[in-house]
């Protein structure tokens, strides 16, 4: 906008307000290729490039390290090892001092950074890395958690959730089944790999452009590594090319190396690993072994459950504590357990340190719940949907979770019921049975699975956010907040909220890059919390300025507050209407402060981890999906014929963005549960380190019919921003419907009397093995 | 070091290149950063460009091989500041999230619609097999390409 544009003083509504389908804030720049990612930034003269030298054994003592040839290679300016870290050689986000930047004397996984080369070009740095001669003395390595003993080492303190007496409940139950489920991990495969670009400044200063979901943590880690105060380090991120949790802590390493190199050489340093190294050296979704023991009655009512969730955490804690905690928090999904015990085992392994990934342990937790539903259903010869409905949380009783939070907003029953009708579940269940009667080889299956996902960081103190809003004298607005943009549309949602407050067109609001210099001490953009937290903080900042403008107008025009109203593009003051920019200019002349720092903290939440009791979640997000598959029982190959989704995002801030999150989350979840398989060999080498061997869903891998609806009645019962709900993670778990539809199709070969116990990912091989097992047993 | 001259988006782009330099490196080194590097292994399609109108991954070609050829990158798709209908459709139909794959997707769509003006949904999805998107689930990408095809077919450009 410019101040010379004609003003429409009768305008009925602003463009880009709340609850409009506003496009992504950078859509125009993305389609023209103008959007700048870190690797696209113009490089200042003298820019150097760093590359990491990685370990070649899974567990070993470094006997000798000869980097002479590396240092002598063409273009090499510096070689960095742990001895070159000026501060602390540690980037443990948990503060446990268990994650060195460069392995000092011992390596603990294959692919662990041991040194870095800094050279004039990236190619020179990369080639020089291969000249290192390192001798290791091999130590015994634990790769697979199935081989972990009872007393195996844990990377962090485990959690127990307990309600009721599960032992007696299981003993008294008319029916009882125990078993084990294996759930695979997942590589994030953000299209833009890890990258950092550090610019040295004067004194101890350094500015780091980092592709990170957590600029404040990168700031702290870089400061820690440099031995500098946090004020010396500025971290900025305008956008990421995807994050999905993979840039919550995993960006720390690259930022620290770039910053150390920049301070050492006095020149800008950029680091970007190849995709293979990125996949080898950075953490992924945890794979789990879930042991369960469930007691139930002849009606399919669950009476007690005992769960143990063992996770492959890798060599350090990273976020494994909160990830395995969240798995336990979701061991109930939407179901009430009269008595329950759930234990986590965050296991140390000689593999890369696993980390956050969309759902953060929740998806693995829920799979345990859905597996026991399958067990109960097949044992009783009932439709799993009937068992699901029978065990849902109640509204007034049967509504306490394993962590003693009361479910006050149970919407699962309504979501399931509406989807059951709109997807025609009952009719299709009959048709599928008829089809399977006629079809000896291709078998169809259907499943309808719900999702209840807890919203809030379980570490209560992370549930805070800040924002900075400036209004300039031409009426244009500068917006900054602690949230980061990774494609999810956070920037546009927060801008919509600010535009709505001031009643100005969204074009008048400039969305600016997230930087630790403007909003400090932020939390990661994670846990689906971005809009909830930053939206509220930005609204708070806008309201402070608005209140000052109202106070000013009250005095200046001698009208009561009630007669001042922000209308589209203008402000009504008594009987007159003043253009927004004009009122702002008048306020400036009267020396009114037109800038505000906003703040928000989530109310009501508390959590006592030692007792396993509290209210860790402000509210729950709900959804359900119904998927139908057809399986070739001779090969195990399958097709998803149809998926129907009903998801609830409260009063949506932006339906188009929310539906995009649901579609993308579902397909990503489907990849996790079907084709994406991580394979480490017995030496600890990741054999699936590129998309050639690691199968990410393609455009053709989708349900042939795909219907996605938002619940039009949605409204958050808690006072969230415009009563919306978080949407980043919950839809990911809608993909459980595909796994269970496959399970249903497999079960048909044995008359639905045997639980297929299909592990994830349900690759065609696993499906075929399950079919053959059931045919043999049935 | 060789000296390479390639016609990029209708303009001569000339500069030094080592024989092993990839086309994508050459483009990016010369300021055309809309062509992205995603997987480094010729799988993901973030670096898609057209060479003499034909779709290639610019990480599969050496810059020196392209001497005298004609290359179209994402920067050359909009003409005179006006978005191409495919770009407009990706923009309007929310065919993007993080945006990193978007230039490659648009170039792939351009190649598809040049050879098949009325692709079916299945044909679009099959054609995109060489282009990975991790955010959108492809739904809005396919919708955008369908919309662009209709618009281009009706001549309503």
- Residues B21, B23, B25, B26: what is their CA dihedral angle, to the nearest 10 degrees? 90
Mean pLDDT value across residues A145-167: 97
Beta partners for residue B8, in sequence order: B11, B71
Contact in structure between A698 and B128 (CB atoms under 8 Å): yes
Residues A447, A541, single domain; the answer is no
Closest-CA distance, B147 to chain A, in angstroms, reads 15
Q: What b-and-e string marks burial along A162-187, b requiring 16 or more CB atoms within 10 Å of the CB?
A: bbbebeebbeebeebbeeebebbbbb
Whether residue B81 is predicted with pLDDT greater than 90 in this model: the reply is no
Please tell me the pTM assigned to this model.
Answer: 0.97
Whether residue A1 is predicted with pLDDT greater than 60 in this model: the reply is no
Residues A443, A586, single domain; the answer is no
Mention every residue, 6+ apart, whose C-beta is less than 8 A from residue B53. Answer: B70, B72, B111, B114
Residues A102, A118, single domain; the answer is yes
SS3 content of chain A, % helix, strand, coil (to 5): 30, 25, 45
Q: Is the ipTM of this complex over 0.90?
A: yes
User: Which residues in chain A have Cβ-Cβ distances shorter than 8 Å to B82?
Assistant: none
Residue in chain A closest to B138 (alpha carbons) equals A699
- CATH code of residue A714: 3.30.365.10
Mean pLDDT value across residues A584-609: 98
Catalytic one of A729, A765, A772, A777: A729
* CA distances (Å), origin A79, targets A117, A129, A620, B65: 5, 9, 50, 35
Tokens matching residue A520: 């400090």
Band of the pLDDT at B2, cuts 50, 70, 90? confident
Q: In this complex, do B92 and A23 lie within 8 Å of one another by their Cβ atoms?
A: yes
What is the rounded CA–CA span in Å between residue A426 and residue A421?
Answer: 8
Residues A306, A338, single domain; the answer is yes
Residues A249, A295, single domain; the answer is no
A281: helix, coil or strand? helix
Contact in structure between A523 and A482 (CB atoms under 8 Å): yes
Contact in structure between A330 and A496 (CB atoms under 8 Å): no
Closest-CA distance, A159 to chain B, in angstroms, reads 33
Whether residue A484 is predicted with pLDDT greater than 80 in this model: the reply is yes
Between A189, A239, A276, which is nearest B134 by CB? A189
B-facing residues of A in 6-65 (CB < 8 A) are 21, 23-24, 26-37, 39-40
Q: In this complex, do B34 and A32 lie within 8 Å of one another by their Cβ atoms?
A: yes
Mention every residue, 6+ apart, whose C-beta is less than 8 A from residue A459. Answer: A322
Give the model's pLDDT for residue A8.
73
Residues A378, A266, single domain; the answer is no
What is the rounded CA–CA span in Å between residue A734 and residue A584?
Answer: 47
Contact in structure between A746 and A758 (CB atoms under 8 Å): yes
CA A743 to chain centre: 27
CA atoms within 13 A on the CB side of B70: 7
Between A24, A193, A706, which is nearest B97 by CB? A24
User: Which residues in chain A have Cβ-Cβ distances shorter than 8 Å to B74?
Assistant: 32-33
The reply to whether B2-73 and B85-153 are identical in fold is no
A772 catalytic per annotation: no
Residues A554, A434, single domain; the answer is no
What is the rounded CA–CA span in Å between residue A144 and residue A136?
Answer: 22
Mean pLDDT value across residues B91-116: 98
DSSP state letter for A343: E
What is the rounded CA–CA span in Å between residue A649 and residue A666?
Answer: 15
Q: In this complex, do B129 and A486 lie within 8 Å of one another by their Cβ atoms?
A: no
CA B15 to chain centre: 22
Mean pLDDT value across residues A197-208: 98
Band of the pLDDT at A290, cuts 50, 70, 90? very high
**Residue at a domain's end among A601, A636, A667:** A601
What is the rounded CA–CA span in Å between residue A212 and residue A242?
Answer: 10
Q: In this complex, do A700 and B125 lie within 8 Å of one another by their Cβ atoms?
A: yes
Phi-psi map region of A108: left, alpha, beta (phi>0 left; psi -120 to 50 alpha): alpha
Residue in chain B closest to A189 (alpha carbons) equals B134
Between A36, A188, A663, which is nearest B137 by CB? A663
Q: What b-and-e string marks burial along A498-537, b requiring 16 or more CB atoms within 10 Å of the CB?
A: bbbbbbbbbebbebbbbbbebbbebbbbbbbbbbbbbbbb
Residues A663, A743, single domain; the answer is yes
What is the rounded CA–CA span in Å between residue A692 and residue B41?
Answer: 8
Tokens matching residue A411: 């919407």
Give the residue extent of every domain in chain B. 2-73, 85-153
User: Which residues in chain A have Cβ-Cβ distances shorter than 8 Å to B141?
Assistant: 699
Whether residue A467 is predicted with pLDDT greater than 80 in this model: the reply is yes
Mention every residue, 6+ apart, whose C-beta is less than 8 A from residue A397. Answer: none
Band of the pLDDT at A648, cuts 50, 70, 90? very high
Residues A699, A640, single domain; the answer is yes
Between B90, B135, B136, which is nearest A31 by CB? B90
Rg (CA), chain A: 27
B2-73 CATH fold: Ubiquitin-like (UB roll) (3.10.20)
Q: Is the dihedral of CA A656, A657, A661, A662 positive or negative?
A: negative
Give the model's pLDDT for residue A5.
59
* pLDDT above 90: percentage of residues in chain A: 98
B-facing residues of A in 667-726 (CB < 8 A) are 667-668, 690-692, 696-700, 702, 706, 708
What is the rounded CA–CA span in Å between residue A59 and residue B144?
Answer: 49
Residue in chain A closest to B22 (alpha carbons) equals A123
Number of domains in chain A: 3
Q: In this complex, do B139 and A663 lie within 8 Å of one another by their Cβ atoms?
A: yes
What is the rounded CA–CA span in Å between residue A725 and residue A460?
Answer: 18
Long-range contact list for A712-720, CB < 8 A, 24+ apart?
A714/A648, A714/A649, A714/A650, A714/A651, A714/A652, A715/A650, A715/A651, A716/A619, A716/A650, A716/A651, A717/A408, A717/A409, A717/A619, A718/A409, A718/A604, A718/A618, A718/A619, A719/A603, A720/A532, A720/A536, A720/A618, A720/A619, A720/A650
Q: In this complex, do B138 and A190 lie within 8 Å of one another by their Cβ atoms?
A: no
Residue in chain B closest to A663 (alpha carbons) equals B137
Residues A333, A397, single domain; the answer is yes
Give the model's pLDDT for residue A548.
98
B-facing residues of A in 390-449 (CB < 8 A) are none
Interface test with A, best of B22, B31, B73, B98 (most A CBs within 10 A): B98
Strands (E), A616-714: 619-632, 638-647, 705-710
Residue B150 at interface with chain A, using a CB cutoff of 8 Å = no
DSSP state letter for A7: P
Between A26, A239, A664, which is nearest B135 by CB? A664
> Which of A406, A303, A294, A338 minimizes the C-alpha distance to A164?
A338
Residue B9 at interface with chain A, using a CB cutoff of 8 Å = no
Mention every residue, 6+ apart, whose C-beta is less than 8 A from residue B96. Answer: A24, A27, A30, A31, A487, B90, B102, B105, B135, B136, B140, B141
Closest-CA distance, B85 to chain A, in angstroms, reads 11
Band of the pLDDT at A410, cuts 50, 70, 90? confident
Between B74, B106, B134, which is nearest A190 by CB? B134
What is the layout of strands, in order, in the sheet containing A60-66? A106-107, A60-66, A133-138
Contact in structure between B62 and A713 (CB atoms under 8 Å): no
Residue B47 at interface with chain A, using a CB cutoff of 8 Å = no
Beta partners for residue A210, in sequence order: A196
Residues A652, A757, single domain; the answer is yes
Between A21, A27, A189, which is nearest B96 by CB? A27
- CATH code of residue A114: 3.90.1170.50
B-facing residues of A in 599-638 (CB < 8 A) are none
What is the rounded CA–CA span in Å between residue A255 and residue A276?
Answer: 19
User: Which residues in chain B have Cβ-Cβ distances shorter than 8 Å to A274?
Assistant: 40
What is the rounded CA–CA span in Å between residue A741 and residue B92?
Answer: 34
Whether residue B39 is predicted with pLDDT greater than 70 in this model: the reply is yes
Residues A690, A773, single domain; the answer is yes
Tokens matching residue A432: 């599928």
What is the rounded CA–CA span in Å between residue A109 and residue A56?
Answer: 8
Band of the pLDDT at A2, cuts 50, 70, 90? very low
Q: In this complex, do B74 and A32 lie within 8 Å of one another by their Cβ atoms?
A: yes
Residue A156 lies in a domain: no
User: Which residues in chain A have Cβ-Cβ distances shorter than 8 Å to B88?
Assistant: 31
Band of the pLDDT at B79, cuts 50, 70, 90? confident
Interface test with A, best of B20, B26, B37, B39 (most A CBs within 10 A): B39
Mention every residue, 6+ apart, whose C-beta is less than 8 A from residue A665. Answer: A358, A728, A729, A730, A731, A732, A734, B137
Interface test with B, best of A21, A23, A28, A32 (most B CBs within 10 A): A32
Q: What pLDDT digit, counting tens, does each position of A688-745 carry?
A: 999 999 999 999 999 999 999 999 999 999 999 999 999 999 999 999 999 999 999 9
What mean pLDDT, rounded, does chain A reach? Answer: 97
Query: Domain residues for A474?
Result: 464-601
Residue A214 at interface with chain B, using a CB cutoff of 8 Å = no
> For the residues of A544-609, what is the DSSP string, one character each?
HHHHHHHHHHHHHHT--GGGEEEETTEEEETTEEEEHHHHHHHHHHTT---EEEEEEE-SS-EEET
User: Which residues in chain B have Cβ-Cβ distances shorter than 8 Å to A242?
Assistant: 97-98, 100, 134-135
Residue B90 at interface with chain A, using a CB cutoff of 8 Å = yes
CB pairs under 8 A between A and B: 175
Residue B29 at interface with chain A, using a CB cutoff of 8 Å = no
Residue A200 lies in a domain: yes
What is the layout of strands, in order, in the sheet containing A477-481? A509-511, A477-481, A464-471, A595-601
Give the model's pLDDT for residue B157.
53
What is the layout of strands, in order, in the sheet containing B54-57? B11-17, B2-8, B70-72, B48-51, B54-57
Between B41, B75, B91, which is nearest A690 by CB? B41
May I ask the CATH class of domain B85-153? mainly alpha
Q: What pLDDT digit, counting tens, does each position of A672-683 carry?
A: 999 999 999 999
Strands (E), B1-157: 2-8, 11-17, 48-51, 54-57, 70-72
């Amino acid at each position: 906008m410019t101040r010379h544009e004609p003003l429409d003083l009768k305008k009925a509504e602003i463009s880009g307000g709340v609850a409009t389908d506003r496009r992504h804030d950078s859509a125009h720049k993305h389609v023209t290729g103008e959007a700048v990612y870190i690797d696209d930034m113009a490089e200042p003269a003298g820019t150097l490039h760093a590359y990491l030298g990685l370990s070649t054994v899974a567990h070993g003592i470094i006997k000798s390290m000869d980097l002479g040839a590396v240092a002598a290679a063409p273009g090499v300016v510096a070689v960095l090892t742990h001895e070159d870290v000026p501060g602390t050689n540690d980037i443990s986000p948990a503060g446990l001092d268990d994650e060195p930047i460069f392995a000092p004397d011992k390596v603990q996984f294959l692919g662990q950074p041991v040194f870095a080369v800094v050279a004039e070009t990236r190619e020179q740095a990369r080639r020089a890395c291969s000249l290192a001669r390192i001798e290791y003395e091999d130590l015994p390595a634990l790769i697979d958690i199935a081989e972990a003993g009872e007393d195996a080492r844990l990377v962090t303190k485990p959690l127990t959730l307990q309600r009721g007496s599960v032992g007696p409940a299981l003993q008294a139950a008319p029916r009882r089944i125990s078993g084990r489920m294996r759930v695979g991990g997942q590589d994030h495969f953000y299209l833009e790999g890890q990258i950092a670009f550090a610019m040295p400044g004067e004194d101890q200063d350094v500015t780091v452009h980092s592709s990170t979901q957590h600029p404040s943590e990168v700031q702290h880690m870089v400061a820690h590594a440099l031995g500098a105060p946090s004020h010396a380090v500025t971290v900025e991120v305008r956008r990421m090319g995807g994050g999905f949790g993979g840039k919550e802590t995993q960006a720390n390493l690259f930022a620290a190396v770039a910053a150390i190199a920049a301070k050492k050489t006095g020149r800008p340093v950029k680091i970007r690993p190849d995709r293979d190294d990125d996949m080898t050296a950075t953490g992924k979704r945890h794979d789990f072994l879930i042991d369960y023991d469930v007691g139930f009655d002849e009606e399919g009512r669950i009476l007690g459950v005992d769960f143990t969730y063992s996770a492959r955490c890798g060599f350090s804690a990273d976020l494994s504590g909160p990830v395995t905690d969240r798995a336990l928090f979701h061991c109930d999904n939407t179901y009430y357990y009269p008595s329950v015990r759930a234990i986590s085992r965050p296991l140390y392994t000689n593999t890369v340190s696993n980390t956050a990934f969309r759902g953060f342990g929740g998806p693995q937790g829920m799979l345990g719940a859905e597996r026991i539903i399958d067990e109960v259903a097949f044992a009783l010869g009932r439709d799993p949907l009937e068992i699901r409905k029978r065990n849902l949380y109640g509204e007034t009783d049967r509504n306490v979770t394993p962590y003693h939070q009361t479910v006050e907003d149970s919407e699962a029953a309504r979501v399931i019921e509406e989807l059951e009708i709109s997807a025609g579940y009952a009719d299709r269940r009959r048709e599928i049975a008829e089809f399977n009667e006629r079809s000896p080889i291709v078998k169809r299956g259907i499943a309808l699975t719900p999702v209840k996902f807890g919203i809030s960081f379980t570490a209560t103190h992370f549930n805070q956010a800040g924002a900075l809003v400036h209004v300039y004298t031409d009426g244009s607005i500068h917006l900054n907040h602690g949230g980061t943009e990774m494609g999810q549309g956070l920037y546009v949602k927060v801008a919509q909220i600010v535009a709505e407050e001031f009643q100005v067109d969204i074009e008048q609001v400039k969305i600016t890059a997230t930087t630790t210099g403007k909003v400090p001490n932020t939390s990661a953009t994670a846990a689906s919390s971005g809009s909830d937290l930053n939206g509220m903080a930005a609204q708070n900042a806008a309201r402070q300025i608005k209140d000052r403008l109202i106070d000013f107008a009250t005095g200046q025009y001698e009208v009561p507050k009630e007669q001042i109203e922000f209308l589209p593009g203008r402000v009504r003051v008594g009987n007159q209407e003043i253009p927004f920019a004009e009122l702002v200019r008048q306020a400036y002349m009267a020396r009114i402060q037109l800038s505000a720092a906003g703040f928000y903290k989530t109310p009501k939440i508390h959590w006592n981890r030692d007792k396993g009791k509290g209210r860790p979640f402000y509210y729950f997000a709900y959804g359900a999906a119904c998927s139908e598959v057809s399986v070739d029982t001779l090969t195990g190959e399958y097709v998803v014929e149809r998926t129907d989704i009903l998801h609830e995002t409260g009063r949506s801030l932006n339906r188009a963005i929310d539906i995009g999150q649901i579609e993308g989350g579902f397909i990503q979840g489907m990849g996790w549960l079907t084709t994406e398989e991580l394979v480490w060999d017995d030496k600890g080498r990741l054999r699936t380190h590129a998309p050639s061997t690691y199968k990410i869903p393609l455009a053709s891998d989708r349900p042939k019919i795909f219907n996605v609806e938002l619940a039009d009645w949605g409204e958050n019962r808690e006072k969230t921003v415009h009563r919306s709900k978080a949407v980043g993670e919950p839809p990911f778990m809608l993909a459980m419907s595909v796994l269970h539809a496959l399970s249903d199709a497999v079960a048909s070969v044995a008359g639905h009397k045997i639980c297929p116990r299909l592990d994830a990912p349900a690759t065609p091989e696993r499906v075929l093995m399950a079919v053959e097992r059931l045919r043999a047993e049935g | 070091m060789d000296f390479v001259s390639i016609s990029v988006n209708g303009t001569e782009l000339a500069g030094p290149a080592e024989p092993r330099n990839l086309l994508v490196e050459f483009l990016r080194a010369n300021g055309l950063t809309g062509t992205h590097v995603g997987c480094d292994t010729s799988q993901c399609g973030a670096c898609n460009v057209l060479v003499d109108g034909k779709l290639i991954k610019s990480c599969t070609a050496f810059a020196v091989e392209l001497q005298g050829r004609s290359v179209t990158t994402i920067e050359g798709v909009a003409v005179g500041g006006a978005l191409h209908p495919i770009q407009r459709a990706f923009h309007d139909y929310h065919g993007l999230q993080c945006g990193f794959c978007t230039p490659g997707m648009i170039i792939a769509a351009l190649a598809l619609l040049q050879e098949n003006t009325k692709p079916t949904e299945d044909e679009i999805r099959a054609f995109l097999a060489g282009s990975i998107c991790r955010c959108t689930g492809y739904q809005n990408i396919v919708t955008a390409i369908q919309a662009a095809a209709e618009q281009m077919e009706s001549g309503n450009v």
